[in-house]
């Protein structure tokens, strides 16, 4: 696992410029040869990881408990996904990436891949890195640099890798790790709890409004590895933080497993905004390769008047299984979920959210926009549960699906459970294709079909995209058009 955390200061003047020429400013990781745990999973692997990371005793115990529980669990099969069997004996659970096949020059790289990089605005040097062309720059993959650590420490904000947090802030980790997603939660969360290698940790102290947007950038480089990162964000009373997460994986061969866990704790009056642009490698046009993205993300609004907002743009991954959720425990707390999920070719996505209303006067909003193209299947699966004590709670859900092409599928599975007479829950959804009239209108004005669809799709997703921080929004818009490329006709 490799992760790099970079903090950016918002500079509105430069943003557009930066993004349009966009290389991955979130920092980059290149391969270095390192040792890794023996292939497969056993208690020894878990011990090995813990030892390697020089973890305190409680972490090892936590991992072992999780591992033993995981052994008793069965693969979940309820999702509307066709998941080829995963051989957990054939995965490196702890691997600084192994040296992979190298290209001698860019000429040997699939031109389609290069074209994609061009669209992303990645410089040639970066392209070489992405495509696996030998480069001489070597970056230490394990160490994590935070460019603004001084600024942050002034406010008392802790933002570091999970490994560092375990070393330097064991009390906080002990208190909050697994408090939102227990190690018994589900198959992949248990697995993650046992073998997670790194991730980021963020603590915003009481009353502090984090002055910059925090960002993590994840990347799977090596083949045959699973990536298991663990993120924990704690916003103490009255704190505010906006957190961004981006991911890419350029591999073109076999499928890889990504099973992350993200936990958010928002105390009284705290507010956390979590934005993701997920762009893991989705596999090629024939559905070969790509990342299996099985992620558990959950936040708890512990105190009253707290708020957690999830925004996600899901364009990558061969298979996505992801339900960022909010437990609205504190009175008057607010949960939000904004999602755009795009699937093309043979991609499969089963994604949505859970809003668990426990406190009084809690409110949640769900806006989900699914776009399916090619031969892909895109499902929204959501749960809104209003418990007996959550009086005067309110939920509004809207999940729309857009279908491009006659071979794709779009499905909507909303679960609505209300046990309370004073709450109001509304859900609506539509599924349709792009309106012929809109297409005609755009084409009549000289746009080709592809850019017309790009425009219409961006308009359709606008409601969600506008929730994203500026840097992400521009990138997400571009991603949308790239993801849908070749889906016309």
Partner 1 sequence: MEGVLKQNSTKEFFTGLYREHRAAITAGDYPALTIQRDNAIRRFEESGFPTTKLEAWKNTDLKESFSKEYDIVLEPEQGVDVQKVFRCNIPHLDTAIMGQLNGWYVSKDVPLMELGNGIIMGSLAEALKKYPALIEAHLGKYADSNTDAFTALNTAFFRDGVFIYVPDNVKSPKPVQIINVIHHDRNLFLQSRNLIVLGKNSRLSLVHCDDSYNHQPSFSNVVTEIYLGEHASLDHYKLQNLNNASTLISSVYFQMDTAAQLESHYISLNGGLLRNNVRQRFNGPHGDTKIYGIYLMDARQHIDNQVFIDHAFPDCTSGELFKGILDEHSSGVFNGHVLVERNAVRTNAYQSNKNILLTETAKVNSKPFLEIYNDDVKCSHGSTTGQLDQDAMYYLRQRGIGEESARMLLMYAYADEVISKIAIDPLRLRIEDMVKKRLQGELQICEACVLHCNTPEQPMEFVIDMTKL
Residue 429 binds to partner 1 (criterion: CB under 8 A): yes
Residue 412 binds to partner 1 (criterion: CB under 8 A): yes
Residue 433 binds to partner 1 (criterion: CB under 8 A): yes
Residue 403 binds to partner 1 (criterion: CB under 8 A): yes
CB count within 10 Å of CB 121 equals: 16
Q: Which of these segments, 302-310, 417-425, 451-459, 470-478, binds partner 1 (CB under 8 A)? A: 417-425
What count of residues does the chain have?
489
CA 10, CA 8: separation in Å to the nearest integer?
6
Q: Which of these segments, 188-196, 204-212, 407-415, 468-476, binds partner 1 (CB under 8 A)? A: 407-415
Nearer to partner 1 (CB atom), residue 133 or residue 408: 408
Nearest residue to 42 via CA among 76, 5, 68: 68
Residue 417 binds to partner 1 (criterion: CB under 8 A): yes
CA 438, CA 441: separation in Å to the nearest integer?
5
Interface pick for partner 1 out of 86, 416, 470, 488 (rule CB under 8 A)? 416
Q: Which of these segments, 201-209, 254-262, 307-315, 426-434, binds partner 1 (CB under 8 A)? A: 426-434
Residue 428 binds to partner 1 (criterion: CB under 8 A): yes
Nearer to partner 1 (CB atom), residue 411 or residue 462: 411
Residue 435 binds to partner 1 (criterion: CB under 8 A): no
Q: What sign does the CA torsion over 125, 28, 53, 92 have?
A: negative
CA 369, CA 289: separation in Å to the nearest integer?
25
- Rg of the Cα atoms in the chain: 22
CB of 293 to partner 1, least distance (A): 22
Tokens of 260: 């992350």
Nearer to partner 1 (CB atom), residue 152 or residue 403: 403
Eight-state DSSP code of residue 117: H
Q: Which of these segments, 9-17, 63-71, 270-278, 412-420, binds partner 1 (CB under 8 A)? A: 412-420
Total number of residues that touch partner 1 (CB under 8 A): 37
User: Three-class SS string for 231-250?
Assistant: EEEEECCCCEEEEEEEEECC
Identify residues 68-127 at the interface with partner 1 (CB under 8 A). Answer: 78, 80
Interface pick for partner 1 out of 202, 404, 452, 482 (rule CB under 8 A)? 404
DSSP per-residue string spanning 50-84: HHHTT--HHHHHHHHHHHHHHHT------SS---P
Interface pick for partner 1 out of 210, 408, 474, 482 (rule CB under 8 A)? 408
Interface pick for partner 1 out of 145, 154, 209, 388 (rule CB under 8 A)? 388
Residue 2 binds to partner 1 (criterion: CB under 8 A): no
Contact 245, 475 (CB under 8 A): no
CB of 331 to partner 1, least distance (A): 17
Residue 365 binds to partner 1 (criterion: CB under 8 A): no
Tokens of 28: 């980059």
Residue tagged 């290149």 (tokens): 30
Nearest residue to 204 via CA among 267, 258, 140, 150: 267
Nearest residue to 467 via CA among 294, 326, 335, 336: 336
| Chain residues in the site for partner 1 (CB under 8 A) | 78, 80, 386, 388, 391, 401, 403-433
């Amino acid at each position: 696992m490799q992760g790099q955390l970079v903090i950016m200061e918002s500079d509105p003047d430069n943003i557009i410029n930066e993004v349009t020429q966009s290389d991955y400013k979130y920092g980059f990781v290149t391969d270095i040869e390192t040792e890794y745990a023996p292939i497969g999973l056993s208690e020894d692997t878990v011990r090995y990881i813990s030892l390697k990371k020089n973890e305190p005793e409680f972490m090892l115990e936590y991992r072992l408990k999780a591992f033993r529980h995981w052994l008793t669990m069965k693969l979940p099969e309820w999702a509307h996904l066709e998941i080829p069997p995963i051989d957990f004996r054939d995965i490196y659970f702890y691997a600084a990436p192994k040296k992979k096949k190298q290209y001698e020059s860019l000429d040997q790289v699939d031109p389609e891949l290069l074209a994609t990089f061009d669209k992303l605005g990645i410089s040639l040097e970066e392209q070489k890195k992405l495509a696996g062309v030998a480069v001489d720059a070597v970056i230490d993959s394990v160490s994590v640099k935070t460019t603004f650590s001084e600024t942050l420490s002034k406010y008392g904000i802790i933002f570091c890798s999970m490994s560092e947090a375990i070393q330097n802030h064991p009390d906080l980790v002990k208190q909050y790790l697994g408090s939102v997603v227990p190690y018994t939660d589900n198959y992949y969360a248990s697995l993650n709890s046992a073998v997670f290698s790194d991730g980021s940790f963020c603590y915003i102290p009481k009353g502090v409004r984090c002055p910059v947007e925090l960002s993590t950038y994840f990347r799977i480089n090596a083949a045959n590895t699973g990536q298991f990162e663990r993120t924990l964000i704690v916003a103490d009373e009255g704190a505010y933080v906006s957190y961004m997460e981006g991911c890419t994986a350029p591999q073109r061969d076999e499928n890889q497993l990504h099973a992350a866990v993200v936990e958010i704790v928002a105390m009284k009056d705290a507010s956390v905004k979590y934005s993701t642009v997920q762009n893991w490698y989705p596999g090629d046009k024939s559905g070969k390769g790509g990342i299996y993205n099985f992620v558990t993300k959950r936040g708890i609004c512990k105190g009253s008047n707290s708020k957690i907002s999830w925004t996600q743009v899901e364009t990558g991954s061969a298979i996505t299984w992801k339900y960022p959720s909010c437990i609205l425990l504190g009175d008057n707390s607010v949960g939000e979920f904004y999602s755009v999920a795009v699937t093309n070719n043979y991609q499969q996505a089963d994604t949505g959210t859970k809003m668990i209303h426990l406190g009084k006067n809690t409110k949640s909003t769900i806006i989900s926009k699914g776009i399916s193209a090619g031969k892909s299947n895109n499902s929204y699966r959501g749960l809104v549960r209003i418990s007996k004590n959550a009086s005067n709670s309110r939920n509004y859900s809207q999940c729309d699906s857009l279908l491009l092409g006659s071979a794709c599928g779009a499905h909507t599975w909303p679960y609505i459970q209300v046990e309370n007479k004073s709450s109001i829950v509304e859900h609506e959804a539509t599924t349709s294709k792009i309106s012929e009239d809109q297409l005609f209108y755009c084409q009549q004005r000289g746009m080709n079909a592809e850019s017309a669809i790009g425009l219409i799709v961006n308009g359709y997703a606008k409601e969600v995209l506008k929730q994203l921080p500026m840097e992400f929004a521009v990138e997400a818009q571009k991603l949308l058009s790239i993801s849908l490329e070749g889906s016309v006709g």
